[in-house]
Structure formats: C-alpha cells, structure tokens
Amino acid sequence: MRPSDPFADRYTKLRLVGRGGFGVVYRAWDTEMERDIALKLLNPDLAADADWRKRFRQEATAASKLNHPNITIVFDRGEYESQPFIVMEFVEGEPLSKVIEQRLSLSDPERLFLIEQLCDGLHYAHQRHIVHRDVKPVNLVVREDHDGTALVRTLKILDFGIAKVVNTGQTSTGGMMFTPSYVSPEQIRGDEVDRRSDMFAVGAVAYELLVFKKAFDITSKNPFTFLEEVKQKIVAEPHLPMAAIRPDIDPELSGVVDRALAKAPEDRFKDLAEMRRSLHRIRIRLEENAPSSSQTTIVLNPKVQAVVKLARQALEADDPTAAVVHLQEALRSASNKVVKRFIEQSLEEALERQAAKRLERRARDEGAARGAIDYAKTAFERGDTTQAIRRLDEFQPAELVSEARDDLARAAALVRRAERIVAEGDADDRQAVLLELEAFTPADLGVAPLARLRARDGLERAAVARALSAIESARAAFTAGNRSEALESRAQFDEPRRVASALQELREANTAID
C-alpha cells in the first residue's frame, strides 16, 4: 500500500523500511522541513470504527508532546481516506532485535547503559500518564555516534501511543494484540495495565540482551495451543535464572532483572526510575572493577554526552577555550572513574590546544605590538609626539606596549623641557639639558630630538655671537661720535630682542648728551 498524492505533495523519496501488524513504515523526505522522516501508515482494518480513530488521535497527540532524548519524536498525525498515519523522527541505527540476533560484542556495562536509557525514556512517559504496552527489541533502535574520541550508543523508543489504542480497539472485538515473549501477566489476564506492565517488558528485554535468549520463548505455531502456551509461560511458570545460561552473570544484576519479571505487579520495582538507579549502581561497580582493556566504548549519560559533543564541536571550530569549559562541566558530572578518565583525556587534549592557540595568539599580538611601537617611534622622531602617544594608547592588549608607552611619555616630557631651555635658557642650562637628553634611556628615543636641539643650540650660539659683535660695533661707533650710525645698526639687527637692552642703553645715553 503506497501513499497517494496528498502525501506525495510533501513527503517524497519514499522507501519501504518495515511492515507489521500495525501497518507499514516508509522512510521519506519532508519537503517543507527538509529532513528525513518515518511515515507510518496504520492498517485500515484496525481503524474501521470511528471511536477507535478518535482514541488514536488522542493518544498520538499525547505522544507528540513527549520530548525526551530516548523517545522518538512524533511530528504529526492525521488521516487520509479513513486511514490513520503518523509522521515521526527517522532514527538512523539498528533495532535492538538485530543487536541481539547478531550477538554484538558488548560488555555488561554497555548493555546496562542501553537498558538504563530504556528505563529513562519510559519513566518520562509514565510521569505523563502514557504507557507504551508494546516494549520489545524490534521497537527499540540503537544509534551509534562517533564524537571523534569515543563511540556513544543511544537507545530510542518507537511507537508510543499506538499500542494502547490498537489494544483498546481489539479488546472491544474480543481479541488482543501483543508480542508474546514480552507481554505482562496482567495483560494476559485482562487486568488493568499500568507502568508496571512496561517494567515487565523491560525485564524481558534486559534478560534477552544479557544472555541472548528469551526469558519466555513461545514456540507454538498452532493457533489453538498458542494462547495456552503464552498463559502457561508468562502467567504461571518462572523464567529460567540467567545464571543457568551465563554462570558469570553478576548476581545483583540477575536479581534486578528477576524483580522486574515478577508475576505480580506489586512485587516489581515501584517505578522504572528505581530500577534504573539499581542498574546504574551495578554498572558503575562493574565499570570500575573491569580492566581498562575490556572497555570497547565509553558509557556516557545523555547530559554528559551532550556536553562532550559540544566540546568536540568547539574543537572542530578551533575554539579550544569553549571546549575546555564544556569538558570541565562534564567532568563535574562524571559518574565513575572510567568516564572521568575519558573526560580528563579529552580535557588534556583541549588544554594543549588551548595553550598552543594562546601561544599563537601571543606571537601574533607581539608582532603587532612591535609594529605599533616602531610606528610610534617614527612619529616621535619626526616630532609628532601626539600621534605617537595616541597610537600606543589605542593598542590592545595594552600590556604589550605599556613599557614603550611610558618610555615615550618620559622622552616627550624631557624633549619639551629641553626645547624650552634651548630657546630661552643660558648656555650652562642648555648644555646641561642636552647632556641629560644624551644620557636618556632607551637611547634610541633621544637620538633624533637631541640632533634637532643641538642644531637649534648651535644656531642660538651663533645668533648670540652675532648680537655681541653688533653691540660692540655699535658702542664703538657711539664712542667715536657716530651716534646715528650706532642707533641705526641696532634697529636694523635681524634679531632685535637680543640687542634690545643695549639699544635702550644707547638711546638713553644719546638723550642725555642732547
């Protein structure tokens, strides 16, 4: 049965991936959201009555509100020509049934981590009053992710909200749909079903994953004896202890599975959170006691897994500092020594990358600082002190140029004082300040200003000498009676301020004679 045009408008590239009692499942491409999805079309024979379709809508809507890393997301639901359909997240991975069938080489801690995730997802749903009712290996998908340093397995639960509606609809016609090896005794008896029925199925799945045999192997193919065998094995007979199949099984672990498989619901765990805590405690003990060579994968809880993934993405984006922050957060949440060692190794790598990047950045900054200092020195040498200081004030990181900036500021202050003394001071003061500038360190800052000021000082000395010579000539002319010539020579001197005092003296003398 292949979807027709209403689906083809949005869901394309359909490929059949599974077929069962509930209907068929296609992998498809959602053209609006641009993502792969699983499109499940339910068997129209199951939806013959309107009340059943109403219940299906209610249960599918409730399931769509479940948001948990171990539960497959329901995106949409609807009907086409009275045939219900569901649009779900498509999960890349292998069904747990195939992992069991192929006897995938997993350590007990790795297997327990998968069961812990199953408990987590189901407990989350139970808290929201949703019971799965059809937990079995084929409804559980194991996705493998390589984060660059470790293999992380995530378990996803499929088909929430479907089994309850199907069973409700079938009961009304006197029948019941279930998977015999995982159905609880109360379901067989027709008693009220609650979260503890899912717990029984979790126990059956755990049993099978740990010993690669079903706790309740139903072999009858005869429809007349099939239900009787189910009732006998599920309701009446105890399951074979796991130690009889695997003598090396941990006794405490065997006890947890046995309790989940108790015939009476009240003899099981209070809820799956309690069962998960028991499994977690056993897993931590097994991991810490196992030789490191036996660890083929690292078991990370979803929170730590998410943080480690962020750290790996940060490293790939060349941001080791962010990776260090993420890994330090993950380290605080490490549940045991094995996980802690793994995170510490990743953190060591991130810290090395961070140190290398800091050295690289430091070298780059130091090169830029040398360029800024050279620019400032050049500006200072040509007399543009303001631009030189501003360039260093604007540079970041400031500490790389702070010493050069302080030296430049000291040199600028000395040069301003020297310029004033050379312009206005006497010979001794000028000589002293020039010697001070000559002795300034770092020496390269004083070279250009010193050369300018020495040249200016030489001009000053020559001007003074010319002034003294002019004054002597004027006095001689005045003494010889050439007063007009003496006064005129002072007035025409190229730097009148240097001879102003002598000129005033001669004018006063001239007035007195007159």
CA distance 308 to 326: 7
256: closest CA among 180, 202, 295?
202
**Does 159 participate in catalysis according to the annotation?**
no
Give kind and range of the element (H or E) at residue 250.
Answer: none
SS3 for 286-333, per residue?
HHHHCCHHHCCCCCCCHHHHHHHHHHHHHHHCCCHHHHHHHHHHHHHC
Query: Hey, which residues does 89 pair with through a beta bridge?
Result: 37
Q: Which two tokens stand for residue 42?
A: 């339910």
Contact 177, 43 (CB under 8 A): no
Beta-carbon contacts of residue 187 (< 8 Å; ≥ 6 apart): 133, 176, 178, 193, 197
Contact 203, 90 (CB under 8 A): no
Q: Give backbone dihedrals phi and psi of 173, rounded to 5 degrees, phi first.
A: -105, 10
Task: Name the strands in the sheet holding 11-20, side by side, starting at the edge strand that comes first in the sequence.
Answer: 11-20, 23-30, 35-42, 83-89, 74-80
Active-site pick, 30, 108, 120, 134: 134
75: closest CA among 46, 36, 42?
36
344: closest CA among 328, 358, 357?
328
Cis omega (within 30 of 0) for bond into 442: yes
Q: Give backbone dihedrals phi and psi of 401, rounded to 5 degrees, phi first.
A: -120, 5
- Mind giving me the DSSP string for 324-380? HHHHHHHHHT--SHHHHHHHHHHHHHHHHHHHHHHHHHHHHHHHHHHHHHHHHHHHH
Q: Give backbone dihedrals phi and psi of 440, rounded to 5 degrees, phi first.
A: -65, 140
Q: Give backbone dihedrals phi and psi of 336, rounded to 5 degrees, phi first.
A: -160, 175
279: closest CA among 206, 214, 341?
206
Contact 422, 457 (CB under 8 A): yes
Beta-carbon contacts of residue 61 (< 8 Å; ≥ 6 apart): 77
22: closest CA among 174, 130, 139, 121?
139
CA distance 475 to 463: 18
Q: Give residue 470's identity as a one-letter amino acid code.
A: A
CA distance 238 to 240: 7
Largest CA distance in the chain: 159
Catalytic site positions:
134
